[in-house]
Amino acid sequence: MKHIYNINNMLDNNDEDSSCTCKWENCDLYMNKTELPKHVIDHIAPESQGLFYCKWKSCTRGDRAFNAKYKILVHIRTHTNDKPHQCYICGKSFTRAENLKIHARSHTGEKPYVCSVNGCNKAYSNTSDRFKHTRTHFIEKPYACRVDSCLKRYTDPSSLRKHAKSHNHQ
């Protein structure tokens, strides 16, 4: 692998051809962004009891270990901004194949997760949206619209923000 030189440079530019620095403990090698994910894999090795630890300098995990190599590999992508799973329809990229699968449903319209409340047949493309919806059947709605003539209330702030945008488009 070809390294240009050592420098303390933060990974903050999203340009694929830009350069960046490996922030793994005792490394600081400067390289092309596309080389970084492959390079970091060379640092990963099991330690005591077969556990894997992230040694990225700014990592907030601390000393919490991963019990499988694939788990640390997915985690490392948060540091390297590696998104190897790309949508063939729109080009959007994801760190995990599962996230691409969920995203693909936005193109197909597939909504396999149906609300389990009797009489409610609302369906969603992912479990988190279904969970958020299910709460509307059981939980109070503390987030109220601030428009005087609107009486809408929501269980979570993200839904209120989405609703507020509808007033801006009227």
The reply to whether 127 falls in a domain is no
The reply to whether 35 falls in a domain is yes
List pLDDT tens digits, range 75-119: 999 999 999 999 999 999 999 999 999 999 999 999 999 999 999
Calculate mean pLDDT across residues 12-29: 72
Model confidence band, residue 1 (pLDDT cutoffs 50, 70, 90): very low
Is pTM beyond 0.75 here?
Answer: no
Domain termination residue (choose one: 81, 98, 125): 81
Model confidence band, residue 18 (pLDDT cutoffs 50, 70, 90): low
Identify the pLDDT of residue 3.
Answer: 32
Q: Where do we find the tokens 């350069």?
A: 19
How far apart (Å, rounded) are the C-alpha atoms in residues 170 and 168? 6
List pLDDT tens digits, range 118-169: 999 999 999 989 988 888 888 788 899 999 899 999 888 888 999 998 887 6
Domain termination residue (choose one: 81, 101, 116): 81
Model confidence band, residue 68 (pLDDT cutoffs 50, 70, 90): very high
**Per 3-state DSSP, what percentage of the chain is helix, strand, and coil (rounded to 5)?**
35, 15, 50
The reply to whether 166 falls in a domain is yes
Domain that holds residue 70: 19-81
CA angle 146-151-152, nearest 5°? 85
